[in-house]
């Protein structure tokens, strides 16, 4: 790979790692960049996924303060991300990519709507739970687990804007502060990316471009540090606006490209 192309991939990795930590959708930087440089789509998708794992981990570690005491909740949600990510990775290898790509913009729009309406839905949920005591809590948790599994399937298959979808689900169903939920999102996205990467290494080793993996890994790690530093300082309203803005850009790009 020419040094100019390598530098471009590295910079794309930094941008993706930063955006993934703050909200998600970093794949919409790296994936089109790889396609632009002539990397085959499936190879680009798989290599990009593996390369973003270190950045996801760095971002999750950067949110460790917001995650204090979150162990019980994450132990309920992480297995859903694990199972969903594994299923999504398998689907990428066995299904026609055009089928899933057709519904991706719809999923992102749903995520954006959930992010915007999250506070109102939260308020309604809290009122309902107060009126019913704790009887509604198991269903509430089940909905979060189901949503987390669905986001994991999506993330394992493609990954672009899985953070937006996760934040929409968590923000709508959990009363936790947005920054804490962003920490949840970083941990769960790390689980999804890691298990999908493991599936790809075990099953599709020949489709991996390891030069691309290393460049994106280095860039995304740097970006994860930047993102956790910047993202943790954003006011919830600003963070919500960033989520919506990136989500709309993601939908526009994918619709135009499709």
Smallest Cα–Cα separation from 52: which of 181, 226, 217? 217
Q: Can you tell me the distance from the alpha carbon of 247 to that of 109, in angstroms, rounded to the nearest whole number?
A: 7
State the pLDDT at residue 77. Answer: 95
Residue 8: the pLDDT is 94
d(CA 240, CA 233): 13
pLDDT tens for residues 88-135?
A: 999 988 888 777 677 777 877 877 787 777 677 666 655 665 665 554
Burial annotation 211-228 (CB, 10 A radius, 16+ → b, else e): ebbbbbbbbbbbbbbbbb
Q: Which of 159, 184, 56, 148 is nearest to 108 (CA)?
A: 159
Domain positions in the chain are: 3-257
Percent share of the chain, pLDDT over 70: 88
Residues 193, 56: contact at Cβ < 8 Å? Answer: yes
């Amino acid at each position: 790979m020419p040094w100019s192309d390598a530098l471009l991939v590295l910079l794309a990795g930094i941008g993706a790692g930063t955006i993934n930590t703050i909200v998600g959708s970093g794949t919409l930087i790296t994936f089109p960049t790889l396609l632009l440089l002539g990397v085959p789509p499936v190879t680009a998708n798989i290599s990009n996924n593996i390369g973003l794992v270190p950045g996801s981990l760095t971002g999750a570690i950067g949110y460790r303060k917001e995650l204090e005491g979150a162990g019980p909740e994450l132990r309920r949600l992480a297995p859903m991300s694990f199972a969903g990510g594994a299923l999504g990775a398998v689907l990428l290898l066995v299904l026609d990519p055009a089928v899933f790509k057709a519904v991706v913009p719809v999923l992102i729009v749903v995520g954006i709507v959930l992010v915007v309406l999250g506070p109102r839905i939260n308020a309604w949920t809290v009122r309902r739970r107060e009126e019913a005591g704790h009887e509604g809590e198991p269903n509430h948790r089940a909905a979060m687990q189901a949503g987390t599994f669905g986001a994991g399937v999506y993330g394992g298959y493609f990954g672009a804007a899985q953070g937006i979808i996760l934040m929409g689900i968590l923000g709508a169903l959990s009363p936790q502060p947005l920054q804490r939920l962003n920490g949840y999102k970083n941990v769960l996205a790390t689980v999804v990316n890691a298990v999908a990467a493991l599936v790809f290494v075990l099953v599709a080793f020949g489709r991996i471009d390891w030069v691309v993996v290393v460049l994106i890994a280095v860039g995304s790690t740097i970006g994860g540090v930047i993102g956790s530093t910047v993202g943790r300082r954003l006011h919830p309203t600003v963070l919500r606006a960033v989520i919506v803005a990136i989500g709309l850009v993601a939908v526009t790009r994918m619709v135009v490209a499709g």
